[in-house]
Homo-oligomer: A and B are copies of this chain.
């Protein structure tokens, strides 16, 4: 595996990861009604760090292979929607507007998983935890949106 290539993909994931630090969860998130099965807080950074390392590895393994065009297009799509979700949910506190973002992320991750498997077994496997995790995250987003129907988004532009 080309380490420089890995580092460029990893730099991309750092852009997405930065949203977690810039838009922290805080008191507002604690105050929300959550389903019984909500994962404990410490799981989130552990899961995301592992996923970001795994998908950087997957990207670096697959990028140089013939026929990787779709895999790379989906890779770009997933990181864009990944970077978008946190500011929409934790920045705007838009529990419902974040749902179509999550849907696009889920489609992109499914596309990545399939296309990476077609090219390389290890790269495909590296996307499986991500697909599982965005499925959990999507269910959590939907559940939180339903359990907090009166929660209005923050109108940042009117502050």
Contacts and interface: CB of A to CB of B under 8 A. Distances in A.
Contact of A158 (B26, B69, B157): B26
B158 A73 contact: no
When all copies of this chain in the complex are counted, the total is 2
Residues of A in contact with B, size category = 35 or more
Contacts of A73: 5, 8-9, 12, 59-60, 63
A8 B70 contact: yes
**Main SS at interface, chain A:** helix
Interface of A: 2, 4-5, 8-9, 11-16, 18-19, 22-28, 59-60, 63-64, 66-70, 72-77, 79-84, 87-88, 90-92, 94, 97, 101, 104, 108, 111, 154, 156-159
Given A28-B157, A63-B69, A12 B83 contact: no
A154 B158 CA distance: 12
> Shortest 4 CB-CB distances between A and B: which pairs?
A15-B80, A87-B87, A26-B157, A63-B69
B15 A84 contact: yes
Contact of A75 (B72, B90, B154): B72
Contact of A22 (B67, B80, B97): B97
Given A63-B72, A69-B64, A12 B77 contact: yes
Contacts of A90: 156
Nearest to A80: B15
